């Protein structure tokens, strides 16, 4: 994906999430994640992505990973 395409995808996601409450946004992101996973042909990359995203989401959260540095 080129930087321009990444831009497009990112802002499409922002646009789609506009106006959603927490419950809707959570379900929406779960759907996005599932569909992207099902399109991938590399399980190792998927598992690494899941792990990285979990670490990022936990940063600063109670019980989460300590901030880097």
Partner 1 sequence: MTSAAVPRAGGFTSPAPELVAGRDTRRHPAVIVGGGPVGLVMSLCLARHGIASLLIDAEDTVCAGSRAIGIARRSLELLDALGVVGSFMQKGLTRLGSRAYARSKELGFRPLVHPETDRFPPMINLQQSYVERFLVEALDAEPLSTLRWSTILTGLAHDASGARLTVASPHGSYRIDAEWVIACDGASSATRQLLDLRMEGSAYSDRFLIIDVRMPSTWPSERRIWFNPESNPRSTVIMHKQADDEWRVDFRLPPDIDIDAALRPEAVAERVARHLAFIGEDAPWQVTWVSTYQARALTLPSYRYGRVLFAGDAAHLVPIFGARGMNSGFEDVHNLGWKLARVIRGEAADALLDSYSPERRSATLANIGYASMGTEFVAPQSWGAEVMREAVITLAPTHPVLESLMDPRTSDPSAYPDSPLNVRTADEATCAGGVPVGATMSDAPVRVVEDGFASDAWLGAICRRTTSVLVFTVNGRVDPDLALALAQVRSPLVEVHVVALGLPDASASGRVLHDHTGAVAALYGAQPGTVYVLRPDQFVLARWRTADRDEVVRAVESLGRPRAPREVSA
* Footprint of partner 1 (CB under 8 A): 26-27, 30-31, 33-35, 38
Nearest approach, Cβ of residue 24 and partner 1 (Å):
11
4, 2, 28: which is closest to 14 by C-alpha? 28
Q: Smaller CB distance to partner 1: residue 6 or 53?
A: 53
Q: What is the CA radius of gyration of the chain?
A: 14
Nearest approach, Cβ of residue 61 and partner 1 (Å):
13
Q: Smaller CB distance to partner 1: residue 5 or 39?
A: 39
Nearest approach, Cβ of residue 29 and partner 1 (Å):
9
> What is residue 23's three-state secondary structure?
helix
Cα dist from 25 to 6, 16, 65, whole Å: 20, 9, 23
């Amino acid at each position: 994906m080129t930087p321009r395409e990444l831009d497009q995808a990112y802002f499409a996601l922002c646009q789609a999430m506009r106006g959603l409450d927490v419950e809707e946004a959570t379900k929406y992101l779960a759907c996005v994640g599932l569909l992207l996973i099902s399109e991938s042909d590399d399980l190792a990359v998927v598992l690494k992505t899941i792990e990285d995203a979990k670490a990022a989401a936990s940063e600063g959260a109670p019980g989460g990973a300590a901030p880097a540095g």
